[in-house]
Structure 1
């Protein structure tokens, strides 16, 4: 059976070295996590699989790694300074602070009904309710208190403040003087670094439309209420593509990328029944979006977004380009008085300049890791009546690909052979190969089941030519154990390389 709760995954992650609370020895830093020895391997494997698929295997994609520190004007013209905010509300009794839409989602039905009536909003439209409350915050605060909105921390009705917006960007200063002129931000998304480098990439590569720019990197959002482990955090990593297309071809490419991303997540091991495409209705769309499809996943804590694929029209390049009036921009953008570059594409046939539309598949790395762990977590009852926990990760994504285990740790002939074999397998370039010398083969198997190691190779007396029957017929053979089936086979070490290559290649 899979993980029954998020707590099971959290416990496994700490026990086996996947993920730790950041700064735990000082009480922890809320919404910030550190990836441990196995977590960093799993995370890197996921990122490498994404990069391979979207950059190496395609002929229409370039890579980029833009800076985390972001010029203030980039986020001014993108609209982030004005609009990158979430609705926030406080309980005067408990002094707890919540993101309004998240708080309302957790309320009993009868409480929500009273709120809908008080704010004169049609029942069932939570998005419209939040919008109405933010337009009339004083009325909304009183309505929440009168409706008996519960505080999740206490389970009791709260005395609620008028809700207000909170900008989630982290500010910093560049240089020794802290003033308005030196103000910068830690990027709240990786996308803007791609847009402002559009002309640089285009000039350097001579790309023709359609083409994309891919990036993996850290982003920072000062979330009001980070929660659900690594699902909603303040420091996170994104895998984003900005795919530039001709206006008029945008709807085709939007549908294409939705299907492509669904297919890829399934190839990573997520089941189709746990992946739910959700097309955002018009009232939920971001101000720049023509259409957005969210790929939702059935996490242990509920159905939540794993990746979003947005048709952003010409808003982004149109926001950052100079000569806006001459380019026929269709999106509503701020008048740009600072840009020094024309972020547009010249049609090679007509010679006319135009601003490409953008399709953006944007996935969270951390959410991807959480989904993989949730999908792979399996609790099995063995024929002996014992129970084992096994992470049935796709072998290529497993943190440790192969564990090489000497049957005993006090026989130099066996341990040295195992070390040489480990080095030989490592040279194949398949990923991490671990030498495990605990001396207890049963416990080693269980430990590697729990961390998802697909193959355990045991070096024993037969391997070194000291079989119990006195023969050497099994010399240079090893036992290979499969994680999922627990079946064991005997292979010559010269056959082992091909065996593993076949099962661990992409």
Structure 2
């Protein structure tokens, strides 16, 4: 999957729209904010829910070989020793000695020196930063500490005393809950390999330099699948899941010319992976990872069997054979998908209002499947007889999906607001409605309007939404 068309929207435009329209707010803003934290407003909450529901429908609900799980955030600390996160889950950290600012060394090298950091050791990064006489982006000093490893897991304690014996971690990924419950899922669900377990849940990473709005967060949600297979079939299932991920991205509305795939080099692979391919998206700040597919071999189940002493092998009755399954892992981040969809859906076009005045029409062209509101009900004017019917229509439609009702400002301004928040259809109640019980449906993308009887409105909307 290759791409080329440049992103036209600036990140500042997306950030402004997201706050103004209630998609994303800065965290704890009334207290001056908390760095690198964000809250999702009414529209953001709906968009996130729709994304997660779409993922669950596509990957779990529609497949007979998939099961769901909801694992805990706090797991036994030995889980993270077995998984390799205590030892391996690190970023290269470097400090400016003058202003004490901290940075990821690999990011500094890539962004400030414009050279690849792939495969560089801690010692290599220290040497490159020192020899390049790199200036601190904050204060301009050129006095750096040696690069060192920084573990990304958040620590906390169980109980009233902060002792080592009570140390636990906030999970940095959701996958491990699936692996440690593998045996119980097999026993209780009577599934046969190949099969997968998927879940959606919070994860936490103490990132050194989060940034680019909600692209990289301290607290985020993952949608992950661990698909258990026989080892000799891994290439077949890797290709299958690569195609399924591409299909899902198209299904929720991504433009294919802003997507591409990139395989990780040998020095770039995670400690558990034999092969990883990222789907990258052309964000306003360049090509960056959107989601990924990894072949984790039998690393996780083998390590948990070793550390726990539990038998985590699978018995294949047809072959009379016992083995540790291998795993294919498709993984997606909710907030990163949300940011990419905001960028992908954003559009501006010249338009003329009812008075003949030109203006720039801003539209979020969300696929109706994931749009926060499926329709908006708008009385033409704020007259009691129109408002009464409009509220009646809105009450009925809310039984079938998320609907907004708006009776403030002129009808033109209300259309513009619905365009800007991505509502696919506007339903207008006018004086003709009082005569013949018909309403107009306005299409967001074409701005064309058709009249539909109120008693057919649910059917008409359902057909339009299903065909999207």
SS at match of 2:451: strand
Tell me if the contact between 2:9 and 2:343 (Cα under 8 Å) persists in the aligned partners: no
Select between 345-354 and 167-176 the one with higher mean Cα deviation: 345-354
Aligned to 1:84: 89
Aligned to 2:3: none
Are residues 1:288 and 2:279 paired? no
Aligned to 1:493: 454
| Offset of residue 136 of structure 1 | 6.0
| Offset of residue 146 of structure 1 | 3.8
SS at match of 2:456: helix
Are residues 1:458 and 2:442 paired? no
| Offset of residue 495 of structure 1 | 2.5
Aligned to 2:135: 150
Among candidates 118, 134, 139, match of residue 127 of structure 1 = 118
| Offset of residue 25 of structure 1 | 1.3
Determine the C-alpha separation between the residues in 1 that align with 2:167 and 2:78. 10
Tell me if the contact between 1:405 and 1:437 (Cα under 8 Å) persists in the aligned partners: yes
Among candidates 57, 66, 78, match of residue 61 of structure 1 = 66
Are residues 1:318 and 2:323 paired? no
Aligned to 1:391: 364
Determine the C-alpha separation between the residues in 1 that align with 2:130 and 2:227. 46
Determine the C-alpha separation between the residues in 1 that align with 2:113 and 2:81. 39
Tell me if the contact between 1:148 and 1:157 (Cα under 8 Å) persists in the aligned partners: no
TM-score (structure 1 length as normaliser)? 0.88
Structure of larger gyration radius: 1
| Offset of residue 79 of structure 1 | 0.8
Tell me if the contact between 1:277 and 1:294 (Cα under 8 Å) persists in the aligned partners: yes
Q: Residues 98 and 168 of structure 1: is their aligned pair in 2 closer, same or farther, counting only changes over 3 Å?
A: same
Q: Residues 33 and 424 of structure 1: is their aligned pair in 2 closer, same or farther, counting only changes over 3 Å?
A: same
Are residues 1:162 and 2:167 paired? no
Aligned to 2:107: 102
Among candidates 434, 439, 457, match of residue 478 of structure 1 = 439
| Offset of residue 26 of structure 1 | 1.5
| Offset of residue 17 of structure 1 | 0.2
Tell me if the contact between 1:3 and 1:377 (Cα under 8 Å) persists in the aligned partners: no
Aligned to 1:447: 417
Determine the C-alpha separation between the residues in 1 that align with 2:187 and 2:359. 63
Are residues 1:363 and 2:354 paired? no
Aligned to 1:332: none
Determine the C-alpha separation between the residues in 1 that align with 2:148 and 2:309. 36
Q: Cα RMSD between the aligned structures?
A: 1.6
SS at match of 1:236: strand
The unaligned stretches of length 5 or more in structure 1 are 113-124, 322-334, 466-474
Tell me if the contact between 1:318 and 1:343 (Cα under 8 Å) persists in the aligned partners: yes
| Offset of residue 194 of structure 1 | 0.4
| Offset of residue 2 of structure 1 | 6.2
Determine the C-alpha separation between the residues in 2 that align with 1:250 and 1:18. 40
Tell me if the contact between 1:406 and 1:439 (Cα under 8 Å) persists in the aligned partners: no
Aligned to 2:385: 413
Aligned to 1:10: 15
What whole-Å deviation, never above 9, does each CA across 1:459-478 have from its counterpart, x for those lacking one?
Answer: 1111112xxxxxxxxx1011
SS at match of 2:44: helix
SS at match of 2:433: coil
Among candidates 157, 160, 163, match of residue 176 of structure 1 = 160
What whole-Å deviation, never above 9, does each CA across 1:432-452 have from its counterpart, x for those lacking one?
Answer: 111111142111001100000
Tell me if the contact between 2:96 and 2:141 (Cα under 8 Å) persists in the aligned partners: no
Select between 6-15 and 98-107 the one with higher mean Cα deviation: 98-107
Tell me if the contact between 2:220 and 2:335 (Cα under 8 Å) persists in the aligned partners: yes
| Offset of residue 341 of structure 1 | 2.5
Determine the C-alpha separation between the residues in 1 that align with 2:184 and 2:191. 11
Are residues 1:299 and 2:283 paired? yes
Determine the C-alpha separation between the residues in 1 that align with 2:404 and 2:45. 15
The unaligned stretches of length 5 or more in structure 2 are 1-5
Are residues 1:435 and 2:420 paired? no
What whole-Å deviation, never above 9, does each CA across 1:177-231 have from its counterpart, x for those lacking one?
Answer: 2211111111000000000000111111110000000000000000001111100
| Offset of residue 3 of structure 1 | 4.8
What whole-Å deviation, never above 9, does each CA across 1:399-434 have from its counterpart, x for those lacking one?
Answer: 01111011122x22211111110111112x2x2111
TM-score (structure 2 length as normaliser)? 0.95
SS at match of 1:248: helix
Determine the C-alpha separation between the residues in 2 that align with 1:21 and 1:70. 30
Aligned to 1:376: 345
Determine the C-alpha separation between the residues in 2 that align with 1:445 and 1:158. 54
Aligned to 1:329: none
Tell me if the contact between 1:407 and 1:439 (Cα under 8 Å) persists in the aligned partners: no
| Offset of residue 305 of structure 1 | 0.6
Q: Residues 2 and 417 of structure 1: is their aligned pair in 2 closer, same or farther, counting only changes over 3 Å?
A: farther
